[in-house]
Protein backbone atom coordinates (compact mmCIF):
# COMPACT_ATOMS: atom_id res chain seq x y z
CA UNK A 1 0.00 0.00 0.00
CA UNK A 2 0.94 3.64 -0.40
CA UNK A 3 0.22 5.25 2.97
CA UNK A 4 0.27 9.00 3.70
CA UNK A 5 0.11 10.57 7.16
CA UNK A 6 -1.19 14.14 7.43
CA UNK A 7 0.57 15.74 10.42
CA UNK A 8 0.36 19.21 11.96
CA UNK A 9 4.10 19.87 12.30
CA UNK A 10 6.64 17.06 12.00
CA UNK A 11 9.40 19.44 13.05
CA UNK A 12 8.18 19.96 16.62
CA UNK A 13 8.16 17.85 19.79
CA UNK A 14 5.14 15.99 21.12
CA UNK A 15 3.43 12.67 21.61
CA UNK A 16 1.52 12.74 18.32
CA UNK A 17 4.72 13.37 16.39
CA UNK A 18 6.50 10.56 18.23
CA UNK A 19 3.79 7.98 17.69
CA UNK A 20 3.30 9.00 14.03
CA UNK A 21 7.02 8.60 13.37
CA UNK A 22 7.02 5.24 15.18
CA UNK A 23 4.07 3.86 13.21
CA UNK A 24 5.25 5.26 9.87
CA UNK A 25 8.70 3.73 10.31
CA UNK A 26 7.29 0.34 11.25
CA UNK A 27 4.88 0.35 8.29
CA UNK A 28 7.73 1.36 5.95
CA UNK A 29 9.20 -2.13 6.28
CA UNK A 30 6.46 -3.42 3.94
CA UNK A 31 4.76 -0.35 2.47
CA UNK A 32 5.46 2.94 0.71
CA UNK A 33 5.02 5.54 3.45
CA UNK A 34 5.18 9.33 3.53
CA UNK A 35 4.49 12.01 6.13
CA UNK A 36 2.96 15.27 4.94
CA UNK A 37 3.69 18.01 7.46
CA UNK A 38 1.33 20.97 7.13
CA UNK A 39 3.81 23.29 8.83
CA UNK A 40 7.59 23.54 8.99
CA UNK A 41 9.58 25.94 11.15
CA UNK A 42 13.12 24.49 11.12
CA UNK A 43 15.50 22.67 8.79
CA UNK A 44 15.36 19.19 10.31
CA UNK A 45 12.87 17.35 12.56
CA UNK A 46 13.72 17.02 16.26
CA UNK A 47 13.24 13.25 15.96
CA UNK A 48 15.25 11.10 13.60
CA UNK A 49 13.09 9.76 10.78
CA UNK A 50 13.80 6.48 9.00
CA UNK A 51 15.08 7.33 5.48
CA UNK A 52 12.50 4.92 4.04
CA UNK A 53 9.78 7.38 5.11
CA UNK A 54 9.58 10.48 2.92
CA UNK A 55 8.74 13.81 4.53
CA UNK A 56 7.33 16.85 2.74
CA UNK A 57 6.08 20.13 4.23
CA UNK A 58 3.27 22.21 2.79
CA UNK A 59 3.89 25.62 4.40
CA UNK A 60 7.40 26.65 5.44
CA UNK A 61 6.97 29.27 8.14
CA UNK A 62 10.57 30.42 7.74
CA UNK A 63 9.66 31.94 4.38
CA UNK A 64 5.86 32.10 4.37
CA UNK A 65 4.86 33.29 7.82
CA UNK A 66 3.92 36.69 6.37
CA UNK A 67 2.38 35.34 3.14
CA UNK A 68 -0.82 37.34 2.50
CA UNK A 69 -2.95 34.20 2.46
CA UNK A 70 -1.42 33.03 5.74
CA UNK A 71 -2.63 36.23 7.37
CA UNK A 72 -6.24 35.42 6.51
CA UNK A 73 -8.23 32.95 8.65
CA UNK A 74 -8.83 29.33 7.70
CA UNK A 75 -12.29 28.32 6.49
CA UNK A 76 -11.99 24.53 6.25
CA UNK A 77 -9.98 23.85 9.42
CA UNK A 78 -12.60 24.11 12.21
CA UNK A 79 -12.51 27.31 14.24
CA UNK A 80 -13.19 25.41 17.47
CA UNK A 81 -10.08 23.23 17.07
CA UNK A 82 -7.23 23.97 19.50
CA UNK A 83 -4.69 24.69 16.74
CA UNK A 84 -6.99 26.96 14.70
CA UNK A 85 -4.81 30.04 15.22
CA UNK A 86 -1.95 28.36 13.36
CA UNK A 87 -4.07 27.61 10.30
CA UNK A 88 -5.03 29.98 7.54
CA UNK A 89 -6.37 30.43 4.05
CA UNK A 90 -2.91 29.35 2.88
CA UNK A 91 -2.97 26.07 4.83
CA UNK A 92 -6.53 25.44 3.57
CA UNK A 93 -5.27 25.87 0.02
CA UNK A 94 -2.12 23.77 0.39
CA UNK A 95 -3.86 20.91 2.18
CA UNK A 96 -6.65 20.90 -0.41
CA UNK A 97 -4.15 20.83 -3.29
CA UNK A 98 -2.14 18.07 -1.61
CA UNK A 99 -5.19 15.86 -1.10
CA UNK A 100 -6.51 16.49 -4.62
CA UNK A 101 -3.25 15.26 -6.15
CA UNK A 102 -2.38 12.53 -3.65
CA UNK A 103 -1.50 9.11 -5.06
CA UNK A 104 -1.84 7.21 -1.79
CA UNK A 105 -4.19 4.28 -1.24
CA UNK A 106 -4.99 5.55 2.23
CA UNK A 107 -4.46 8.86 4.05
CA UNK A 108 -4.31 9.03 7.83
CA UNK A 109 -5.21 12.28 9.58
CA UNK A 110 -3.61 12.82 12.97
CA UNK A 111 -5.71 15.50 14.67
CA UNK A 112 -9.38 16.60 14.50
CA UNK A 113 -8.90 19.59 12.19
CA UNK A 114 -6.86 17.58 9.73
CA UNK A 115 -9.39 14.76 9.88
CA UNK A 116 -12.00 17.31 8.78
CA UNK A 117 -9.83 18.27 5.80
CA UNK A 118 -9.38 14.59 4.99
CA UNK A 119 -13.07 13.78 5.27
CA UNK A 120 -14.17 16.71 3.12
CA UNK A 121 -11.38 16.97 0.53
CA UNK A 122 -9.85 13.53 -0.13
CA UNK A 123 -10.59 12.05 -3.59
CA UNK A 124 -13.32 9.43 -3.69
CA UNK A 125 -10.88 6.59 -4.42
CA UNK A 126 -8.68 7.27 -1.36
CA UNK A 127 -9.43 5.50 1.92
CA UNK A 128 -9.77 7.96 4.79
CA UNK A 129 -8.67 7.06 8.32
CA UNK A 130 -8.85 9.64 11.10
CA UNK A 131 -6.85 9.35 14.30
CA UNK A 132 -7.81 10.78 17.68
CA UNK A 133 -4.82 11.41 19.94
CA UNK A 134 -6.81 13.31 22.56
CA UNK A 135 -10.30 12.20 23.63
CA UNK A 136 -13.85 13.00 22.61
CA UNK A 137 -14.68 14.31 26.09
CA UNK A 138 -11.76 16.74 25.81
CA UNK A 139 -13.38 18.47 22.82
CA UNK A 140 -15.83 21.36 23.16
CA UNK A 141 -19.48 20.82 22.18
CA UNK A 142 -18.91 23.11 19.18
CA UNK A 143 -15.98 21.02 17.94
CA UNK A 144 -17.92 17.79 18.48
CA UNK A 145 -20.67 19.18 16.28
CA UNK A 146 -18.19 20.01 13.52
CA UNK A 147 -16.60 16.57 13.78
CA UNK A 148 -19.94 14.74 13.76
CA UNK A 149 -20.84 16.34 10.45
CA UNK A 150 -17.48 15.67 8.77
CA UNK A 151 -16.50 12.35 10.31
CA UNK A 152 -19.37 10.51 8.64
CA UNK A 153 -17.31 10.71 5.44
CA UNK A 154 -14.39 8.82 7.00
CA UNK A 155 -13.91 5.11 6.50
CA UNK A 156 -12.45 4.50 9.95
CA UNK A 157 -11.54 6.37 13.11
CA UNK A 158 -8.97 5.18 15.61
CA UNK A 159 -8.60 6.19 19.25
CA UNK A 160 -5.71 5.36 21.56
CA UNK A 161 -7.85 3.73 24.27
CA UNK A 162 -10.85 1.41 24.39
CA UNK A 163 -12.61 3.88 26.69
CA UNK A 164 -12.46 6.64 24.09
CA UNK A 165 -13.51 4.29 21.28
CA UNK A 166 -16.58 3.40 23.34
CA UNK A 167 -17.31 7.10 23.87
CA UNK A 168 -17.19 7.77 20.12
CA UNK A 169 -19.48 4.84 19.35
CA UNK A 170 -21.94 5.88 22.04
CA UNK A 171 -22.05 9.65 21.58
CA UNK A 172 -21.13 10.54 18.00
CA UNK A 173 -23.53 8.46 15.90
CA UNK A 174 -21.22 7.72 12.95
CA UNK A 175 -23.05 5.14 10.85
CA UNK A 176 -20.78 3.26 8.49
CA UNK A 177 -17.58 4.49 10.15
CA UNK A 178 -15.48 1.84 11.86
CA UNK A 179 -14.30 3.04 15.27
CA UNK A 180 -11.43 1.04 16.73
CA UNK A 181 -8.88 1.49 19.52
CA UNK A 182 -5.31 1.41 18.22
CA UNK A 183 -2.74 1.90 20.95
CA UNK A 184 0.42 3.91 20.41
CA UNK A 185 3.51 1.78 19.94
CA UNK A 186 7.01 2.21 21.35
CA UNK A 187 10.02 0.75 19.50
CA UNK A 188 11.90 -2.16 21.03
CA UNK A 189 14.54 -0.75 23.42
CA UNK A 190 18.08 -0.76 22.11
CA UNK A 191 19.64 -0.61 25.57
CA UNK A 192 19.61 -3.11 28.45
CA UNK A 193 16.62 -2.60 30.75
CA UNK A 194 16.99 -0.75 34.04
CA UNK A 195 18.03 -3.08 36.88
CA UNK A 196 16.16 -1.22 39.62
CA UNK A 197 19.25 -0.28 41.64
CA UNK A 198 19.52 3.43 40.79
CA UNK A 199 17.99 5.74 43.39
CA UNK A 200 16.31 7.80 40.71
CA UNK A 201 12.68 8.53 39.79
CA UNK A 202 12.19 9.71 36.19
CA UNK A 203 9.34 11.73 34.68
CA UNK A 204 9.06 13.22 31.20
CA UNK A 205 6.71 15.42 29.20
CA UNK A 206 5.75 19.00 28.50
CA UNK A 207 6.02 21.33 31.51
CA UNK A 208 2.39 22.46 31.38
CA UNK A 209 -0.28 22.66 34.10
CA UNK A 210 -2.22 19.52 33.12
CA UNK A 211 0.87 17.35 33.69
CA UNK A 212 0.93 18.39 37.38
CA UNK A 213 4.67 18.31 37.96
CA UNK A 214 3.99 20.51 40.98
CA UNK A 215 2.04 17.61 42.51
CA UNK A 216 4.87 15.21 41.71
CA UNK A 217 7.51 17.49 43.25
CA UNK A 218 5.45 17.97 46.41
CA UNK A 219 4.88 14.22 46.66
CA UNK A 220 8.58 13.57 46.17
CA UNK A 221 9.30 15.77 49.20
CA UNK A 222 7.81 12.90 51.25
CA UNK A 223 10.37 10.54 49.70
CA UNK A 224 13.28 12.90 50.39
CA UNK A 225 12.24 13.31 54.03
CA UNK A 226 12.77 9.57 54.53
CA UNK A 227 15.33 8.79 51.80
CA UNK A 228 17.44 11.92 51.11
CA UNK A 229 19.72 9.99 48.75
CA UNK A 230 16.97 9.63 46.08
CA UNK A 231 16.56 11.96 43.10
CA UNK A 232 13.67 13.02 40.85
CA UNK A 233 14.66 13.92 37.29
CA UNK A 234 12.05 15.71 35.18
CA UNK A 235 12.67 15.87 31.40
CA UNK A 236 10.87 18.34 29.18
CA UNK A 237 10.35 22.02 28.50
CA UNK A 238 7.36 24.31 28.74
CA UNK A 239 5.66 27.30 30.24
CA UNK A 240 5.87 26.07 33.85
CA UNK A 241 9.65 25.74 33.98
CA UNK A 242 10.26 28.83 36.12
CA UNK A 243 7.33 28.09 38.43
CA UNK A 244 8.57 24.55 39.02
CA UNK A 245 12.10 25.76 39.63
CA UNK A 246 10.70 28.16 42.23
CA UNK A 247 8.75 25.34 43.90
CA UNK A 248 11.89 23.19 44.08
CA UNK A 249 13.73 26.03 45.81
CA UNK A 250 10.81 26.76 48.13
CA UNK A 251 10.72 23.12 49.30
CA UNK A 252 14.50 22.95 49.64
CA UNK A 253 14.74 20.13 47.08
CA UNK A 254 17.49 21.64 44.92
CA UNK A 255 19.79 18.69 45.71
CA UNK A 256 17.11 16.11 44.90
CA UNK A 257 14.83 17.38 42.11
CA UNK A 258 16.30 18.39 38.75
CA UNK A 259 14.70 19.93 35.65
CA UNK A 260 16.73 18.22 32.94
CA UNK A 261 15.39 19.96 29.83
CA UNK A 262 14.04 18.25 26.72
CA UNK A 263 15.79 15.07 25.58
CA UNK A 264 14.92 12.97 22.52
CA UNK A 265 15.00 10.05 22.43
CA UNK A 266 14.43 9.37 26.13
CA UNK A 267 15.47 5.72 26.27
CA UNK A 268 18.98 6.38 27.63
CA UNK A 269 17.45 8.47 30.44
CA UNK A 270 14.73 6.00 31.41
CA UNK A 271 17.25 3.20 31.96
CA UNK A 272 19.17 5.40 34.42
CA UNK A 273 16.18 5.31 36.75
CA UNK A 274 14.34 2.73 38.83
CA UNK A 275 10.82 4.22 38.95
CA UNK A 276 8.77 6.18 36.41
CA UNK A 277 6.23 8.76 37.53
CA UNK A 278 3.29 10.66 36.01
CA UNK A 279 0.98 13.00 37.89
CA UNK A 280 -1.35 14.23 35.12
CA UNK A 281 -4.93 15.37 35.60
CA UNK A 282 -5.68 14.11 32.09
CA UNK A 283 -3.79 11.74 29.80
CA UNK A 284 -5.36 10.56 26.51
CA UNK A 285 -2.90 7.67 26.39
CA UNK A 286 0.33 7.91 28.35
CA UNK A 287 3.21 7.51 25.91
CA UNK A 288 5.85 8.22 28.54
CA UNK A 289 4.32 5.55 30.80
CA UNK A 290 4.78 2.94 28.08
CA UNK A 291 8.30 4.20 27.30
CA UNK A 292 9.28 3.83 30.96
CA UNK A 293 7.77 0.36 31.27
CA UNK A 294 9.44 -0.82 28.06
CA UNK A 295 12.74 0.17 29.72
CA UNK A 296 11.95 -1.91 32.83
CA UNK A 297 10.58 0.78 35.15
CA UNK A 298 7.43 0.33 37.23
CA UNK A 299 5.38 3.51 36.97
CA UNK A 300 3.48 5.39 39.66
CA UNK A 301 0.73 7.37 37.96
CA UNK A 302 -2.50 9.16 38.67
CA UNK A 303 -5.49 7.13 37.49
CA UNK A 304 -6.66 9.92 35.21
CA UNK A 305 -8.83 9.55 32.10
CA UNK A 306 -8.15 7.64 29.90
CA UNK A 307 -4.80 6.00 29.37
CA UNK A 308 -2.99 5.02 32.58
CA UNK A 309 -5.65 2.57 33.74
CA UNK A 310 -5.43 0.69 30.41
CA UNK A 311 -1.62 0.53 30.60
CA UNK A 312 -0.75 -0.08 34.27
CA UNK A 313 -1.96 -3.08 36.25
CA UNK A 314 -2.11 -1.63 39.74
CA UNK A 315 0.11 -3.47 42.18
CA UNK A 316 1.69 -5.62 39.45
CA UNK A 317 3.73 -3.38 37.15
CA UNK A 318 3.08 -0.02 38.79
CA UNK A 319 0.70 1.90 41.01
CA UNK A 320 -2.39 3.95 40.21
CA UNK A 321 -3.38 6.73 42.63
CA UNK A 322 -6.29 9.21 42.68
CA UNK A 323 -5.94 12.34 40.57
CA UNK A 324 -4.60 15.31 42.53
CA UNK A 325 -3.82 13.28 45.66
CA UNK A 326 -0.33 14.32 46.73
CA UNK A 327 -0.34 12.09 49.81
CA UNK A 328 -1.33 9.00 47.80
CA UNK A 329 1.34 9.76 45.18
CA UNK A 330 4.00 10.15 47.85
CA UNK A 331 2.92 6.95 49.62
CA UNK A 332 3.01 4.96 46.36
CA UNK A 333 6.49 6.24 45.55
CA UNK A 334 7.67 5.38 49.06
CA UNK A 335 6.25 1.87 48.72
CA UNK A 336 8.64 1.23 45.83
CA UNK A 337 11.55 3.18 47.27
CA UNK A 338 11.49 1.27 50.57
CA UNK A 339 11.39 -2.25 49.12
CA UNK A 340 14.17 -3.05 46.65
CA UNK A 341 12.90 -6.52 45.71
CA UNK A 342 9.30 -5.33 45.32
CA UNK A 343 10.49 -2.53 43.03
CA UNK A 344 12.62 -4.86 40.91
CA UNK A 345 9.84 -7.44 40.67
CA UNK A 346 7.44 -4.74 39.45
CA UNK A 347 10.09 -3.56 36.97
CA UNK A 348 10.37 -7.05 35.49
CA UNK A 349 6.57 -7.23 35.22
CA UNK A 350 6.49 -3.81 33.56
CA UNK A 351 9.04 -4.93 30.97
CA UNK A 352 7.01 -8.06 30.21
CA UNK A 353 3.55 -6.49 30.20
CA UNK A 354 4.55 -3.52 28.05
CA UNK A 355 5.50 -5.81 25.16
CA UNK A 356 1.92 -5.53 23.96
CA UNK A 357 2.82 -1.97 22.92
CA UNK A 358 5.76 -3.14 20.79
CA UNK A 359 5.56 -2.21 17.11
CA UNK A 360 4.77 -5.80 16.05
CA UNK A 361 1.28 -6.23 17.55
CA UNK A 362 0.27 -2.60 16.94
CA UNK A 363 1.49 -2.55 13.33
CA UNK A 364 -0.24 -5.85 12.60
CA UNK A 365 -3.54 -4.38 13.79
CA UNK A 366 -2.93 -1.13 11.87
CA UNK A 367 -2.09 -3.00 8.65
CA UNK A 368 -5.25 -5.05 8.89
CA UNK A 369 -7.41 -1.99 9.48
CA UNK A 370 -5.80 0.00 6.65
CA UNK A 371 -6.10 -2.91 4.21
CA UNK A 372 -9.78 -3.35 5.08
CA UNK A 373 -10.38 0.39 4.69
CA UNK A 374 -8.75 0.39 1.23
CA UNK A 375 -10.72 -2.69 0.17
CA UNK A 376 -14.00 -1.25 1.42
CA UNK A 377 -13.41 2.10 -0.26
CA UNK A 378 -12.71 0.41 -3.60
CA UNK A 379 -15.83 -1.72 -3.24
CA UNK A 380 -17.96 1.28 -2.28
CA UNK A 381 -19.05 -0.15 1.07
CA UNK A 382 -18.43 0.62 4.76
CA UNK A 383 -15.52 -1.00 6.59
CA UNK A 384 -16.81 -4.01 8.50
CA UNK A 385 -16.77 -3.44 12.25
CA UNK A 386 -14.48 -5.81 14.12
CA UNK A 387 -17.33 -7.35 16.11
CA UNK A 388 -19.37 -7.85 12.93
CA UNK A 389 -16.44 -9.51 11.16
CA UNK A 390 -15.93 -12.02 13.99
CA UNK A 391 -19.67 -12.70 14.18
CA UNK A 392 -19.90 -13.28 10.41
CA UNK A 393 -17.01 -15.75 10.44
CA UNK A 394 -18.56 -17.72 13.26
CA UNK A 395 -21.95 -17.86 11.59
CA UNK A 396 -20.37 -19.06 8.33
CA UNK A 397 -18.87 -21.98 10.25
CA UNK A 398 -22.28 -23.28 11.19
CA UNK A 399 -23.46 -21.64 14.40
CA UNK A 400 -27.16 -22.16 13.80
CA UNK A 401 -28.59 -20.48 16.88
CA UNK A 402 -28.36 -16.71 16.75
CA UNK A 403 -27.81 -16.33 20.50
CA UNK A 404 -25.03 -18.92 20.48
CA UNK A 405 -23.33 -17.13 17.59
CA UNK A 406 -23.44 -13.77 19.33
CA UNK A 407 -22.10 -15.24 22.56
CA UNK A 408 -19.30 -17.01 20.74
CA UNK A 409 -18.46 -13.87 18.77
CA UNK A 410 -18.14 -11.90 21.98
CA UNK A 411 -15.84 -14.52 23.47
CA UNK A 412 -13.72 -14.69 20.34
CA UNK A 413 -13.43 -10.92 20.23
CA UNK A 414 -12.19 -10.80 23.81
CA UNK A 415 -9.54 -13.38 22.94
CA UNK A 416 -8.49 -11.32 19.90
CA UNK A 417 -8.18 -8.18 21.99
CA UNK A 418 -6.22 -9.92 24.72
CA UNK A 419 -3.83 -11.16 22.07
CA UNK A 420 -3.33 -7.59 20.82
CA UNK A 421 -2.40 -6.30 24.25
Q: Any idea which of 16-20, 94-98, 237-241, 297-301 has the lowest mean pLDDT?
A: 16-20
Mean per-residue pLDDT for 138-142? 95
CA nearest neighbour of 213 among 263, 271, 258, 274: 258
- pLDDT tens by residue, 215-234: 999 999 999 999 999 999 99
CA–CA distance, 148 with 142 (Å, rounded to integer): 10
CA–CA distance, 294 with 309 (Å, rounded to integer): 16
Q: Any idea which of 59-63, 314-318, 348-352, 399-403 has the lowest mean pLDDT?
A: 399-403
CA–CA distance, 38 with 265 (Å, rounded to integer): 23
Q: What percent of the chain has pLDDT over 70?
A: 91
Q: What percent of the chain has pLDDT over 90?
A: 84
The residue length of the chain stands at 421
Question: How is the chain split into domains, by residue range?
Answer: 2-181, 200-356
Class of domain 200-356: alpha beta
Residue scoring higher pLDDT (272 or 306): 272
pLDDT at 306: 85
Which stretches of 305-418 are assigned E, i.e. beta strand? 318-321
pLDDT at residue 25 tops 50: yes
Burial 18-54 (b: 16+ CB within 10 A, else e): bbbbbbbbbbbeebbbbbbbbbbeeeebebebeeebe
Domain 2-181 identical in fold to domain 200-356: yes
Burial, 155: exposed, middle or buried (Cβ in 10 Å; 0-12, 13-18, 19+)?
buried
Q: Is 160 helix (H, G, I), strand (E, B) or coil?
A: coil
- pLDDT tens by residue, 113-125: 999 999 999 999 9
pLDDT at 412: 38
Phi, psi of 416 (to 5 degrees): -60, -45
pLDDT at 66: 96
pLDDT at 187: 84
DSSP 305: T
CA–CA distance, 258 with 172 (Å, rounded to integer): 44
- pLDDT tens by residue, 87-115: 999 999 999 999 999 999 999 999 999 99
Q: Is 363 helix (H, G, I), strand (E, B) or coil?
A: helix
- pLDDT tens by residue, 373-420: 999 999 999 997 765 433 333 222 332 233 333 333 333 333 333 344
pLDDT at 76: 97
Mean pLDDT of the chain: 90
pLDDT at residue 154 tops 80: yes
pLDDT at residue 323 tops 90: yes
**Cα distances (angstroms) measured from residue 35 to each of 27, 102, 353:** 12, 12, 30
Would you place residue 346 in the very low, low, confident or very high pLDDT band (cuts 50, 70, 90)? very high
Burial, 384: exposed, middle or buried (Cβ in 10 Å; 0-12, 13-18, 19+)?
middle
CA–CA distance, 211 with 123 (Å, rounded to integer): 39
Spatial neighbors of 223 by CB under 8 A, at least 6 apart, are 201, 230, 232, 330, 333, 334, 337
H-assigned helices in 82-161: 89-101, 112-121, 141-151
Phi, psi of 195 (to 5 degrees): -100, 0
> The domain at 2-181 falls in which architecture?
3-Layer(aba) Sandwich (3.40)
Amino acid sequence: MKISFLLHNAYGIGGTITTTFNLAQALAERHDVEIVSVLRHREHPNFTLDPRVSLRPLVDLRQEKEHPSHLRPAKVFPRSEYRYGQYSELTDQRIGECLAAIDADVVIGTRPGLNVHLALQAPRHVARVGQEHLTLDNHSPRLRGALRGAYRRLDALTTVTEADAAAYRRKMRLPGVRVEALANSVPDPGLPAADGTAKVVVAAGRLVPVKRYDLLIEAFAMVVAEHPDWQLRIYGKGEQHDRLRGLIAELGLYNNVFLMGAVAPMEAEWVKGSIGAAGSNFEPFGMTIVEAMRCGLPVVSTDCPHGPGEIIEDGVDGRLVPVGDREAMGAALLELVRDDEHRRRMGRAALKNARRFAPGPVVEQAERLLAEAVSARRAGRPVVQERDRVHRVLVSKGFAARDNAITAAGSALRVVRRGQR
